[in-house]
Copies of this chain bind each other. A is one copy, B any other.
Amino acid sequence: MDQRQALSAFAALAQETRLQIVRVLVVAGPDGMAAGMVAEKTAVSPSNVSFHLKELERSGLISQKRESRSIIYTANYNALGGLIRFLMEDCCAGNPEICAPVAAVAACCAPKVEEKLQ
């Protein structure tokens, strides 16, 4: 993830409806969710949700695939991970020890690491 992509991802997440959509899609998991269902879950008009879905796709945070009449959207976990990585590199730049507390949070993603440390 380069700066250009990061800027685009930050812009995508800096909007309440879009952040909500991303959370809904993350919870939906790898199977994703149809656009209409996203609209329902977020209580936003189909046209408006479509606008934001497109914006999120443009930023690389989600992807789409057609399935019969529906269009299924899926969270792009790699992109989310890339953004986190980008932020951490900024955070640590020149001061590795300063944001060490953040590492503790990483535990939520790596239960195995947690175990090894006990």
Residues in A lying within 8 Å of B, measured CB to CB: 3, 6-7, 10-11, 13-16, 19, 22-23, 26-27, 29-30, 77, 80-81, 83-85, 87-96, 98-111, 113, 116-117
Given contacts A23-B93, A103-B113, 10 further A-B contacts (CB under 8 A): A29-B94, A29-B98, A77-B91, A80-B87, A80-B99, A84-B102, A88-B106, A96-B108, A103-B106, A106-B110
**Contacts A14-B10, A77-B99, A83-B87 given; does A92 touch B108 at CB 8 Å:** yes
Q: How far is the CA of A103 from the CA of B110 in the complex (A)?
A: 6
Tally of this chain's copies:
2
Interface hub of A10, A15, A96 (most chain B Cβ within 10 A): A10
Q: How far is the CA of A113 from the CA of B95 in the complex (A)?
A: 17
Q: How far is the CA of A113 from the CA of B56 in the complex (A)?
A: 35
Among B7, B85, B101, B111, which residue has its beta carbon within 8 angstroms of that of A102? Answer: B85
CB-defined contacts of A89 to chain B, threshold 8 Å: 105, 108
CB-defined contacts of A98 to chain B, threshold 8 Å: 29-30, 77
Q: How far is the CA of A51 from the CA of B105 in the complex (A)?
A: 33
